Structure 1
Amino acid sequence: MRRVAAVDLGASSGRVMLGSVGDGTLELSEIHRFWNGPVRLCDTLHWDVLHLYHSMLSGLAQAGPIDSIGIDSWAVDYGLLDTSGRLLGNPIHYRDSRTDGVMEKVLERVSAAELYEITGLQQLPFNTIYQLAAEGLLGQAETLLMIPDLLGYWLTGEVGAERTNASTTQLYDVRAQAWSSELAERVGVSMKLLPELRDPGTVLGTVLPDATGLAAGTPVIAVGSHDTASSVVAVPAADERFAYISSGTWSLVGLELDSPVLTAEAREANFTNEGGVDGRIRFLKNVMGLWILQECQRVWGADDLPALLREAAGAPPFAVLIDPDAPEFLAPGNMPQRIGEHCRASGQEPPQSRAAAVRCVLESLALAYRRTLRSAQTIADRPVDVLHVIGGGSQNELLCQLTADACGLPVLAGPVEASALGNILVQARALGEPLPDLGAMRALVRATHRLRRYEPQGKPADWDAAESRVFGTR
């Protein structure tokens, strides 16, 4: 039996999870959960990465004897080290406004078509390449480390870049599976900033003596350090005809493929080709997730989500709909007010109750999933028989049922802690557990975790009409 610790950092909370993996066994328990979120200092939105590091150490200290540690987090954000290996400043949050208008300036130097041909990435204004174009400390920096690589460096003293997270920077050649020196040069990023790449399952180093308070010599293993890459490892799929939604603050909607899809059709539809574990490609699109609802709850001061969902389930369907990916929903703020303004701008009466607002958000998300999934199947020429919803959103029964209804597919919901499970499975394989491929890992998840199935209900024509209201006719 292997006992390993997964440090799993999401965009709103972090956790240290203890995993036990053995013959027919895959168990997970939460050791320590802690807050994570934006911190505004003057006019800039930061991550409090020192708080994350301290919280990670506190959780690992409670885990007891462990065989290894793995770290995963959200993508695109980074820390910069100086020539002495010191952090130049707290990493800036991807929702910060510093990248406003930057993408357009970069695209004057490298066209969107050229960028996609090399990186295969969805155009998002906060991609790492655009953050670096707006970076004020670049001239002082010696090394760029993505968030999991930064925390791993502090644990071990070893510098490197794990591939699945590197693939989200828009500086990574998705076909060559290497940094693109040509692209870096054209956008003014020195190659010296970009560390040597390492694969999931690589031992990146061992815990330093004395510096952390942890047992020195414990291996730290590079997992699928982009949390979605770890989540997709734990999709309990029985064959290849599946789609997934990694559902949390963001929703990542997509397919798992053997090679990237770099066609003009894929680029125009704004799909991304991100690296996955074992060289797979996560062909997906970022859809605004439960962030909108989370911000509504914050403004309302409403902690009782189950009660809100019960009320929303009884609200009239399709009364009010929004485009959840509209730019006004990206930054923190008064989301109920923004929903009202969005509705008025589209000729709709704003929701008149919290239940109506929740129904609006969830139905609109389900419509975005439907549109994205159908487009992915067409572009990749990959039929889908079942849709797996993993992550925290798999507990939202109303959203799962609406997703099944909208997509016309059975939804299998769970596991909830998919990213931590994927993290743990990659560690266990690196330590010698007989998990030779993703199929074996997924079979173990199916055998040890209960899933909930949602069958499509309602009338497809109603969803057709609703999609037309929000996105127009195709």
Structure 2
Amino acid sequence: MINSKCFFAVDLGATSGRTVVGTLSNGKVELEEITRFPNNLIETGGHFYWDIYALYFEIIKGLKIVAGRNMDIASIGIDTWGVDFVCIGDDGALLRNPLSYRDPHTFGAMEEYFSKKVSKEKVYNATGIQFMNFNSLFQLYAMKRDGNSALKNADKILFMPDALSWMLTGEAVCEYTIASTSQMLNPVTKDLDGMLLDSIELPRDKFGKMVVPGYKIGVLTEEVQKMTGLGAVPVIAVAGHDTASAVAAVPAANEKFAYLSSGTWSLMGIETKDAIINGESYDKNFTNEGGVEGTTRFLKNICGMWLLERCRKEWGSSAPSDYGTLIVDAMKAEPFASIINPDDEMFANPDDMQAAIKQYCAVTGQHVPEGYAEICRCILDSLALRYRQVFGYLKDMAPFSIDTLHIIGGGSRNDCLNQFTANSTGVTVLAGPQECTALGNIMLQAKAAGEVNDIFDMRRIIADSISMKRFEPKDKAEWDAAYDKYLAVVASKENK
């Protein structure tokens, strides 16, 4: 690879977004952040909306900057959070800003749907997706039930990355990985499920044609070319779901790995050829989401560093603001003195996270942690033990042996938790990259451009471009005993 190529990635999260240019040259990839901006919710009329026009403006702003710098970008790709969508009228106009998954209109809608439309078991068997009240299926059901005028007049319903690509190109598609978050995609047929669409009285043609990562959606419209100063740059359907793009960037050497996308929330899973839909996956509430090159991301959501982030806000000036100092102090506290289940409903959204942790420990007859160091140690120990539990589920259901756990995302920088995770799970942990979502977006564009051959070629380039940290398991007996205590604590709480 002699000539360098540049690709423009739009990476949108639920709180912020950014535009990034990735340059592929001599078998390595480098990233440069162009812009970063907030993604603000708009609350009005009792509802919460995303400001899609503001997001579009930020994309145009980023494109103007690269044009002004005479950067020759080969293509553009967009990834976002999952489940949310935009209604488009038959005149090509957006029918108001899209509702957010945080909107209260879906409260109770999932249970109502199961009782009036399709049973919970049938929905899971058709989709293999974990149940969350804000999944697109339940959003659309609630909108239909409530007579939502945008849905009533929609000619097309486009998921967020597809809607923004449509605004840039005028072409409507339904990208596979983002569609898989909706709880309407059938992983066997690889299309939206007819039974579920019928249940909410929506025909298939309301959605764009199904495409997979690497598909060329179209080129920038003349309007966008004029605004930005760019030419007819192609817009590529990358893995539109940000987690799918992140997993595509896991620098694994083969398929026998698990991944932990670690940040505010943690997602632990494997990459498989086929969906895993059975009684155990249903009971354990695992999800089957679309991956690249026809793969399935079989995973489970786990509460992540949000526990600690909430506590840090509550501590304020009474705890070290420096994260490194906080961890050092936490390591001085007694290990495993207090253990919680991070996914217990007590921690879903308490008014006071510290109080919730203390209450859990009191209810389960444990030492009640006092002070920031003991609470921080409790969180780190408990997360590592919860990871072991979910990792065990994965090993039981995986069609192959798992010998490595790759930790990606912002949490890959937390050496302490990474080592705890290796100790707890008993496998080698490889940490990095942090910028996995943008890297996956960029490399899928490079694949579409013919610069790389397949996903393992992509991953090899990423591995050659970053530095990973390796953590080997230690203190097996101590962690085995702690896990026995964790299981006993969790069982005790569930029986209260």
TM range (shorter): over 0.9
User: What residue is the counterpart of 2:401 in the other structure?
Assistant: 383
SS at 1:422 equivalent:
helix
Deviates more, 1:195-204 or 1:34-43: 34-43
Task: Sort the Cα spacing of 1:70 and 1:470 in 2 relative to 1 into closer, same or farther, 3 A.
Answer: farther
Question: Counterpart in 2 of 1:429?
Answer: 447
Q: Select the residue among 193, 197, 209 that pairs with 1:184.
A: 197
Q: Tell me, in whole angstroms, the C-alpha distance in 2 between the residues paired with 1:143 and 1:233.
A: 29
Give the Å deviation of 1:299: 4.1
Bigger mean CA offset, 108-117 vs 153-162: 108-117
1:472 pairs with 2:485: no
TM-aligned CA deviation for residue 43 of structure 1: 4.2
Question: Structure 1 residues 194-203 or 35-44, which shifts more?
Answer: 35-44
SS of alignment partner, residue 378 of structure 2: helix
In the TM superposition, what are the counterparts of 1:330-409 in structure 2 within 5 Å? Answer: 330-331=348-349, 334-348=352-366, 350-409=368-427
Q: Which of 92, 95, 117 pairs up with 1:88?
A: 95
Where do 5+ consecutive residues of structure 2 fail to align?
A: none
130, 144, 149: which one pairs with 2:162? 149
Find the aligned partners of 1:424 and 1:443 in 2 and give their Cα distance: 14
How far is the alpha carbon of 1:344 from its aligned partner?
A: 4.5
Tell me which amino acid in the other structure corresponds to 1:56: I
Identify the residue that residue 136 of structure 2 maps to in structure 1.
128
Moved more, 363-372 or 352-361: 352-361
Q: Specify the code of the residue in structure 2 equivalent to 1:243.
A: A
Q: Comparing 32-41 with 218-227, which one deviates more in the overlay?
A: 32-41
Identity across matched positions, percent: 41
Corresponding letter in the other structure for 2:7: V
User: 416-425 vs 315-324, which deviates more?
Assistant: 315-324
Shift of 1:394: 0.5
- The range that moved more, 123-132 or 159-168, is 123-132
Q: 1:269-284 maps to which residues of 2 (within 5 A)?
A: 269-284=284-299
Does the 8 Å CA contact 1:210/1:216 hold for their aligned counterparts?
no
Q: Does 1:23 align with 2:26?
A: yes
Q: Is contact 2:339–2:486 with CA below 8 Å preserved after alignment?
A: no
Kindly indicate whether the alpha-carbon contact (under 8 Å) linking 2:140 and 2:200 is maintained by their aligned counterparts in 1: no
Quote the residue 2:57 is aligned against. Answer: 54
| RMSD (Å), alpha carbons | 2.4
Which of the pair has more CA radius of gyration? 2
Within the candidate set 118, 132, 151, 2:126 is matched to: 118
Aligned to 1:231, which of 221, 246, 253? 246
**How far off is 1:360 after superposition?**
2.6
2:472 corresponds to which of 439, 449, 455: 455
Deviations 1:398-443 (A, max 9, x none): 221221122111110001111111111110111121x221111111
Distance in 1 between residues matched to 2:368 and 2:60, nearest whole Å: 46
Q: Secondary structure of the equivalent of 1:18?
A: strand
* Greater Cα offset, 57-66 or 243-252: 57-66
The CA distance in 2 between the partners of 1:105 and 1:343, in whole Å, is 35
Report what 2:335 is aligned to. 317
Q: Residue in 1 aligned with 2:274?
A: 259
Name the stretch that deviates more: 277-286 or 92-101. Answer: 92-101
Aligned length: 473
Residue pair 1:12, 1:249 contacting (<8 A) in 2 also: no
| Structure 1 stretch displaced more, 345-354 or 190-199 | 345-354
Q: Distance in 2 between matches of 1:413 and 1:2?
A: 27
Q: Does 1:14 align with 2:17?
A: yes
Deviates more, 1:392-401 or 1:290-299: 290-299
Q: Matched residues in 2 for 1:250 and 1:139: separation?
A: 35
Q: Which moved more, 1:237-246 or 1:138-147?
A: 138-147
What amino acid is the match of 1:391? G
- Quote the offset at 1:338 in angstroms: 3.9
- Residue identity matched to 2:486: E
Structure 1 distance, partners of 2:83, 2:325, is 35
Aligned partner letter, 2:133: P
For residues 455 and 162 of structure 2, the distance between their equivalents in structure 1, rounded to whole angstroms, comes to 23
TM-superposed CA distance for 1:18, in Å, is 1.1
State the TM-score, normalized to the length of structure 1: 0.92
Q: Which residue of 2 aligns with 1:221?
A: 236
- Note if contact 2:340-2:490 (Cα within 8 Å) is conserved in structure 1: no
1:423-469 deviation digits (Å, cap 9, x = unpaired): 11110111121x22111111111112100011122223233224214
Pick from 73, 77, 81: which aligns with 1:70? Answer: 77
For residues 210 and 124 of structure 1, the distance between their equivalents in structure 2, rounded to whole angstroms, comes to 39
SS in structure 2 at match of 1:167: helix
Tell me if 1:297 matches 2:315. Answer: no
Q: CA deviation at 1:56?
A: 2.7
* Distance in 1 between residues matched to 2:468 and 2:178, nearest whole Å: 28
Q: CA-to-partner distance for each residue in 1:18-69, whole Å, 9 max, x for gaps?
A: 1011331211122222223545446434433333332333233323331111
Task: Please give the alpha-carbon distance, in whole angstroms, between the structure 2 residues aligned to 1:10 and 1:313.
Answer: 32
